[in-house]
Amino acid sequence: MTSVDAILSKAVDGQRITADEAVQLFDADLIKLGRAADAVTRRLHPENYRTFNIDRNINFTNVCAAVCDFCAFYRKATDEDAYLLPREELYKKIEETIALGGDQVLMQGGNHPKLTVEWFEDLFRDLRARYPRVNLHALSSSEIWHMHKVSKIPLREVLERLKAAGLGSLPGGGAEILVDRVRSAITQNKVMTEDWLEIHRIWHSMGMRSTATMMFGHIETLAERIEHLQRLRDLQDETGGFTAFICWTFQPGHTMAHMPEVGAHEYLRTQAIARLFLDNIPNIQSSWVTQGAKVGQLALLYGANDMGSLMIEENVVAAAGTVYHLTLEEIKRAIRELGYEPRQRNVFYQLIDEKAPTIAKPATSGRSLPVVSVT
C-alpha cells in the first residue's frame, strides 16, 4: 500500500491519484492534507487573487413530488405553506440582485407535479427579455429529470428547448451522493445517479457549462464519497463541462436528527481530498453558507480558490436550521486577510470587475499554510 505521504506528494506533483489512494487520505494529518491541497490550488491558480460572485438563490416553489429524508424545505402541493412565486415577485428579486451588483440568479425549486417544459420556456423567455445581462443558472438535474417525465419529452429535447428559451447554465444541485445505494435509502421519486450524470453530459455536449456538488456526512461511507468524486472526474474527462465543484455537510437540524453532525475538520478534510482528486475540475468553492465565516475563510487554504456567492437569499439550508450571513465587505475582507486580492467573477469564472490580473506572490498573512514538503 502506498503511504499517505507518497500519495500527497504524487498529487502535489500533478500526478493523478486513484480512488483507493483518495480513501487512504481520510487518515492523513489534517494540516499536512491542507498543505498539499493548497499547493495544488496555487499551481492551478497562481494569480494574486481569489474570487467571489454576487447572485441570489430564488426558490420559485417549495412544492416537490420527491421525498428526501434530508430536506426540510419541500412541501406537498396540498400543504398550507406550499407556494409558487408570482412573476412580479421574481422580477422584484432579480432587480434587487442587479442593484447589488449581481449578474446571475440561481433558480431552483422542487419536482413540481404540474410545471411542464412549456411553463419553464415561457418563464425563461420572459426573464431573458427583461434582464438580458442576467445569467439564468437554473434547475437541478432532479427538476430537469422530473420535467422530462411530466412532459414525456426526451432529456435532450428538454435541455435544447430550455437553452433556446434562455437557460444559461446548470447548477449541480440534487447530486447529494452519486451512489444509488445512498440515493435509494434517503430519497424517493428523485433522479438516480446515471440520469443525473446523463443530464450534465447532454448539457455539456451542447457547448454549455455546469457546476458539480456533493452533500456529505449522512449515511454514505468514505469510499462512497470517493465514488461520487470518481463519477464526476470521469464525466469531466469526457466532456470538460464542469466549471467548479462545491461540497457541503449535511445539516441535521430539522431532518434525520439522529445523525451526528459532521464538523469543520471533516468538511476541510473532504474538500482538500476533492481538490487533490478532481485534477480536471479547475475551481473549488468554499461553503461558508454551511460552515460560517471563519471555516469558510480557512477553506481557501484547504483547496478552494473561490469564496462562492454573496448569497443575497438562501432558503433550503436555512430550512434545515443553519443560517450564516456575510456582507460583501466581509467576503472581501476574508480574502484580503489571507494575502489575496478579492475579484468578482461570473458563473463561468470570467472576471467581471475592471482590474487586470496579476501573478501571485506567496500570501504573507500569518494565517496562510506554507507550501512546503508534505513528507
Residue-range domain boundaries for the chain: 4-344
**Residue 150 — very low, low, confident or very high, per pLDDT cuts 50/70/90?**
confident
Q: All 3 cell numbers of residue 348? A: 463561468
How far apart are the C-alpha atoms of 260 and 256, rounded to whole Å? Answer: 9
For 304-321, b where at least 16 C-beta lie within 10 A, e where not — what string?
Answer: bbbbbbbbbbbebbbbbe
Q: How far is CA 61 from the centre of its chain?
A: 20
How far apart are the C-alpha atoms of 336 and 192, rounded to whole Å? Answer: 41
Please name the helix (run of DSSP H) or strand (run of DSSP E) that holds residue 136, with its range, or none: strand 135-138
**Which pLDDT belongs to residue 73?**
52
Lowest mean pLDDT among 96-105, 185-194, 290-299: 185-194
**Which pLDDT belongs to residue 362?**
39
User: Could you give the 3-state DSSP secondary structure of residue 365?
Assistant: coil
**Which pLDDT belongs to residue 359?**
46
**Which pLDDT belongs to residue 63?**
75
The average confidence (pLDDT) of the chain is 86
Please calculate the CA angle 27-299-243 and round it to the nearest 5 degrees. 100
Is 2 in contact with 21 (CB distance < 8 Å)? yes
Residue recorded with cell 492523513: 28
> Residue 316: is its pLDDT beyond 50?
no
How far apart are the C-alpha atoms of 307 and 264, rounded to whole Å? Answer: 16
The arithmetic mean of pLDDT across residues 234-255, rounded, is 87
CB atoms within 10 A of CB 252: 20
Is 80 in contact with 35 (CB distance < 8 Å)? no
Residue type, 288: W
**Residue 42 — very low, low, confident or very high, per pLDDT cuts 50/70/90?**
very high
Q: 13-22 pLDDT, tens per residue?
A: 999 999 999 9
- Pairing label, strands 187-188, 67-68: antiparallel
Q: 324-361 pLDDT, tens per residue?
A: 578 899 999 999 999 999 999 999 999 998 764 444 44
**Which pLDDT belongs to residue 113?**
76
pLDDT cut 70: percent of the chain above it: 83
> Residue 29: is its pLDDT beyond 80?
yes
Q: Residue 42, CB half-sphere, CA atoms under 13 Å: how many?
A: 21
* Signed CA dihedral, 170, 11, 30, 234: sign only: positive
3-state helix, strand, coil in the chain (%, to 5): 45, 15, 40
**Residue 250 — very low, low, confident or very high, per pLDDT cuts 50/70/90?**
confident
> Residue 368: is its pLDDT beyond 80?
no
Is 225 in contact with 231 (CB distance < 8 Å)? no
CB atoms within 10 A of CB 158: 23
How far apart are the C-alpha atoms of 234 and 343, rounded to whole Å? Answer: 30
**Residue 74 — very low, low, confident or very high, per pLDDT cuts 50/70/90?**
low
Q: 94-116 pLDDT, tens per residue?
A: 999 999 899 999 998 777 677 88
pTM of the model: 0.88
**Residue 75 — very low, low, confident or very high, per pLDDT cuts 50/70/90?**
low
> Residue 223: is its pLDDT beyond 60?
yes
Q: What is the CATH number of domain 4-344?
A: 3.20.20.70
